[in-house]
């Protein structure tokens, strides 16, 4: 798996290019939570590009599944209900924080936004604390 560093590099470059193209050609930020969230009540003229972005994300996942099926686990790591609850919490958190990792991490930092720096430090710090706590609990419960 360590030889696959080029896949991560290529994926990161593709995401960066997509974010830059959306900003350059549409004047829009590539924040996935905002793009998906605004599909519910889109502004006039916004539906087409939002649907295109979501379909592109789904097509990318489908392409990866076909080209590199071992990237996907055969068995779910967590129950589906727990995954759904986690997804809702992520959506709530991205609304509360004024954006998601793609909006703040890719676009906000690239545009030197101070609020995005604070957001990225916050969610990365929270992720580190979560990993620490879960590992400690796993050790105690084992």
Q: Each residue of 61-82: pLDDT tens digit? A: 899 889 888 877 767 777 888 8
In order of 10, 17, 40, 49, 115, the CA distances from 43 in angstroms are 33, 25, 10, 11, 25
1: confidence class by pLDDT, cuts 50, 70, 90: low
2: confidence class by pLDDT, cuts 50, 70, 90: low
In order of 70, 95, 129, the CA distances from 12 in angstroms are 19, 24, 25
How far, in Å, CA of 54 to CA of 119, rounded?
A: 24
Whole-model pTM?
Answer: 0.71
Tokens for 4, please give them: 């696959």
In the chain, the percentage of residues whose pLDDT exceeds 70 is 97
In the chain, the percentage of residues whose pLDDT exceeds 90 is 15
């Amino acid at each position: 798996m360590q030889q696959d560093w080029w896949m991560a590099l290529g994926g990161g470059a593709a995401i960066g290019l997509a974010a830059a193209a959306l900003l350059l050609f549409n004047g829009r930020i590539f924040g996935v939570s905002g793009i998906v969230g605004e599909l519910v009540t889109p502004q006039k003229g916004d539906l087409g590009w939002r649907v295109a972005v979501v379909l592109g994300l789904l097509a990318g996942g489908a392409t990866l599944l076909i080209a590199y099926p071992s990237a996907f686990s055969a068995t779910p790591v967590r129950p589906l209900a727990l995954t759904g609850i986690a997804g809702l919490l992520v959506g709530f958190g991205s609304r509360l924080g004024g954006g998601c990792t793609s909006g703040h991490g890719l676009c906000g930092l690239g545009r030197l936004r101070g609020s995005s720096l604070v957001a990225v430090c916050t969610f990365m710090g929270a992720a580190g604390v979560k990993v620490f706590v879960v590992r400690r609990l796993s050790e105690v419960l084992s």
